[in-house]
Amino acid sequence: MAQLHIPIKKVVDQSYDIEIGFHLVDVLINDLKSDLVTGVNKYAIITDSKVKDIYGDQLLEKMKQQGFDVELFSFPSGETSKTRHTKASIEDLMLEKSFGRDSCIIAIGGGAVTDLAGFVAGTFSRGIPCINYATTLLAAADASVGGKTAVNTPVATNLIGVFHQPEKVYIDLATWSTLPVRELRSGLAETIKHACLADEEFFVYLEENIDKIVSTDGTLILNQAVCEHIAFKNCEIKYSVVEKDELETNLRQILNLGHTAGRALEALSGYQLFHGEAVAIGLVIQAKLGQRLDFLLEEDVNRIISLLKKSGLPVQMPSDISHESLLEKMYTDKKVRKGSIRFVFQDRIGNMKQFENSHYSIPVDEALILKTLEEC
């Protein structure tokens, strides 16, 4: 019997820039002309049906005017379209248009677009470059940064995907003015989550300034300085975590604050709850559960709930979702180990609880979870 050892050691620089500003389409095109991505002869713009009409067609036309070989592919907007079927459909269309290894994907849209397009880029021809152009606060806060890509399944959200870092991220703050209020608020939930887990000073800033993004009556304010600051802080906080744990072996789990219950709620609602709305409720469940476990003070729990309310986000479970069904759905969470539901917890606003052996998540008893859900 023969045996051969194959040593494979990698030192890879996957660094990239994040550009935050207003009306960045021309900046993107100039970057492409300046060889942002080398060895590329064809570009695939991937977007959804809503963003296509507002920004996708505009980018397509400008790139064609500059002589780029480019095609646009779109899919119906919404989380329900972020599936393996949609991914395969786009891949088939790209193959029909003779896309190959000399291709680059430009994802323009919100989190569903960057998740799905990044997954396509990570597997098409065993991996091609991609660029993210975020048009929502939610994508700016979360989905466009960090390299996690995935699709949803009937079992749960984001269970099938790959890590695939973008070449560059563009966060166009001008696009936020075209968002429905509900979508903008959904992005604020991820922003609040970042402040909760890593930056108390930022949390205070949100308490004092969040009504300069959207008022309690639903009027879009979008103060330029506040928009720029929260976009920057979202990226800074997420980067500080991803840099230390790109593949989510431990520390990166803290970015799932509020997501154990939140993603289960999102799926159980049939995606009638927006991602940020579900995460907001999940943050409350986590906070109240943490209070029961003596990790978090009641004062901090009340501040979190107050800020979510001020942002116009829900803080109570929908009446049509039972506690038992939510508990069962939590078993599809990616942090589940040995059949136990695990949570990450704050130990105060701006800091996360670290447990034995430096772990950031712990199993929580079903009965305690149910008691907390009843309270919510």
Neighbours of 324 (CB within 10 A): 11
Q: For residue 361, is pLDDT > 90?
A: yes
Mean pLDDT of 308-312: 97
Check residue 231 and give its pLDDT.
96
Q: How far apart are the C-alpha atoms of 265 and 258, rounded to whole Å?
A: 11
Check residue 137 and give its pLDDT.
96
Sign of CA dihedral 356, 358, 363, 369: positive
Q: How far apart are the C-alpha atoms of 28 and 169, rounded to whole Å?
A: 10
Second CATH level (architecture) for the domain 17-178: 3-Layer(aba) Sandwich (3.40)
Task: Delimit the CATH 3.40.50.1970 region(s) of the chain.
Answer: 17-178
Q: What is the CATH class of 181-375? A: mainly alpha
Q: How far apart are the C-alpha atoms of 13 and 279, rounded to whole Å?
A: 32
Q: How far apart are the C-alpha atoms of 248 and 254, rounded to whole Å?
A: 9
Q: For residue 246, is pLDDT > 80?
A: no
Neighbours of 131 (CB within 10 A): 27
Task: Delimit the CATH 1.20.1090.10 region(s) of the chain.
Answer: 181-375
Q: How confident is the model at residue 4 (pLDDT cuts 50, 70, 90)?
A: confident
Mean pLDDT of 356-372: 93
CA-to-CA dists, residue 131 to 96, 161, 216, 249, angstroms: 22, 17, 35, 25
Mean pLDDT of 236-243: 89
pTM exceeds cut of 0.85: yes
Is residue 234 within 8 Å of 227, Cβ to Cβ?
A: no
Q: How confident is the model at residue 284 (pLDDT cuts 50, 70, 90)?
A: very high
